[in-house]
Amino acid sequence: MDLNALEERLAPIVAELGYEIVRLKLIGGSRRPTLQVMADRLDGTTMIVDDCARVSRAIDPVLDEIDAIEGEYALEVSSPGIDRPLTRAKDFARWAGHEVKIELHKPVEGRKRFTGQLEGIDGDRVTVALVDAKVSFALAEIASAKLVLTDALIAAAGGRG
């Protein structure tokens, strides 16, 4: 299944309700996989359980109609949470100034994992200030990135809801 194509199909439906897809992920084996849909509110306020249920009810019939996943599967809709993954260029711009953990697809100078202060994104290059240096990676080099739970992040997220 092409998750990018699926996201393109679901994004307008979710946006019409006032949400955006942060990430789609298919987990589990072939017996009964789980499609994880991580969504956030377009207005920046905190997602609650009712929001997740709304998104689920809107996309479930579409998933069945296009037969996106062969056989039985589970649909799981969640919010990104405070220590959210950073998956899009706009995420790296929005959360600049906060601590981030980044894992690369391939090692750079013998390392795959970096933790530091996210400085932001310029074009497709993400810059992180480490204790002793600055590093920059192309978005395509990043396997995963997420915010680190800190007091500053809690304070910043507190203003969202």
Are 66 and 95 part of one and the same domain? no
Would you say 32 and 73 are in contact if contact means Cβ atoms under 8 Å apart? yes
In the listed set 57, 78, 99, which residue is the last one of a domain according to the structure?
78
Q: Reduce the DSSP state of residue 146 to 3 states and report it.
A: strand
| Chain segment 91-123, per-residue pLDDT in tens | 999 999 999 999 999 998 899 999 999 999 999
The domain of 69 spans: 3-78
**Domain at 72, CATH number:** 3.30.300.70
Residue 114 belongs to a domain: yes
| Chain segment 23-79, per-residue pLDDT in tens | 999 998 778 899 999 999 998 888 899 999 999 999 999 998 888 788 888 999 999
Residue 83 belongs to a domain: no
Measure the CA angle with vertex 22, ends 1 and 74; round to 5°: 50
Are 73 and 8 part of one and the same domain? yes
Report how many domains make up the chain. Answer: 2
Residue 108 belongs to a domain: yes
Residue 51 belongs to a domain: yes
Residue with tokens 């905190």: 46
**pLDDT confidence bin for 158, thresholds 50/70/90:** low
Question: Is the pLDDT assigned to residue 85 strictly greater than 50?
Answer: yes
Burial of 134 (0-12, 13-18, 19+ CB in 10 A): exposed
Are 137 and 99 part of one and the same domain? yes
| DSSP characters over 35-53 | EEEEEEETT-PPP-HHHHH
Are 65 and 94 part of one and the same domain? no
In the listed set 78, 100, 115, which residue is the last one of a domain according to the structure?
78
Give pLDDT, residue 161. Answer: 42
Q: How many beta carbons lie within 10 A of that of residue 99, not counting itself?
A: 18
Element (H, E) at 20: strand 19-27
**Domain at 146, CATH number:** 2.30.30.180
Cα 81 to the center of its chain, rounded Å:
10
In the listed set 78, 105, 127, which residue is the last one of a domain according to the structure?
78
145 closest CA partner among 118, 111, 106, 119:
118
111 closest CA partner among 131, 86, 135:
135
Are 49 and 96 part of one and the same domain? no
Residue 136 belongs to a domain: yes
Residue with tokens 């009712």: 50
